[in-house]
Structure 1
């Protein structure tokens, strides 16, 4: 049986998780740092990276768990 990490690193899951991370991370950055971005002041690059990393990890984990779930014949 393949491990969760092996499923999470599969091409299909990585590609979909990156798409989700770009969309959700961009929205989170606008919500969390929109005023700083519009004012042209400094932003926190740690928070920018976390705003993209967290949705990527959640999407990858969720998709990998879904792939590991046995399915009955339907």
Structure 2
């Protein structure tokens, strides 16, 4: 059974959604995610956003008698990195598809 994807093209039974619209040989999600420009931007975002969120969420523990949760602090930095990377990669991949039409 074949299913149409977002662009209306038909996918084969073993195809992955979204893969049919990506030109053969073009970079995939992880290729973009590892590119220096995306990593550089994500690191800048995480340094600013992660630090602000850590100060908001754990300020009492940092400047008072409470304990800092290293797990929460790690997540506070990891989530903005992942969100920034996902947004940048999604934008880059969408730019590739219209150029092929």
The normalised TM-score by structure 1 is: 0.89
Higher relative contact order (CA 8 A, sep 6+): 1
**Structure 2 gap segments, 5+ residues each:** 1-25
Q: Which has the higher helix share?
A: 1
How far apart are residue 27 of structure 1 and its match? 0.7
Aligned match of 2:32: 7
How far apart are residue 40 of structure 1 and its match? 4.2
Mapping 1:1-74, distance limit 5 Å: 1-70=26-95, 71=98
**Structure 1 gap segments, 5+ residues each:** none
Distance in 2 between residues matched to 1:66 and 1:42, nearest whole Å: 39
User: Is the partner of 2:60 in helix, strand or coil?
Assistant: helix
Q: CA RMSD in A?
A: 1.2
